[in-house]
Structures are given as C-alpha cells and as structure tokens.
Amino acid sequence: MVWLVVMQIVSTIIECAGLVRKTDREKDLEILLLRRQLDILARARDKPLRVSRAEKLVVSLNRL
C-alpha cells in the first residue's frame, strides 16, 4: 500500500513537470478527452467508479 502511494506521488510530480511545457489549448483538449473517456467507462460499467484511498491522496496533493 505504501509503495503504491509513493509511486503515484512520484508519477504525479513527473506529470506536473511535463505540464509546464504544454500550452493552455493542449491542456484544455486533454481535459476534454479524459472527461469523455470517463463518461464512456462509467456507461460501460453501469455503476459509479470506486476511487481508492491512494488515488484520493494523490488528487488532494494535486490541489495544493
């Protein structure tokens, strides 16, 4: 469990470093595509997605 959290935090830091190089237009397009993917996945599963504690931690760290 701890290893998973550490790996997610490290990968998030690496992704954030890559965001600096992207333009606002590229970021907006990526957000739209990810939202579309989530919609498709939610419909395919016929139930809401369950988020793990580790994923919740990473999301909360991204908001800082």
**DSSP conformation letters of 38-58:** HHHHHHHHTSPPPPPHHHHHH
**Residue, of 63 and 2, whose pLDDT is higher:** 2
| Residue 62 pLDDT | 66
| Residue 40 pLDDT | 82
Q: pLDDT by residue (tens digit) across 37-61?
A: 888 888 888 877 787 888 787 777 7
| Residue 64 pLDDT | 58
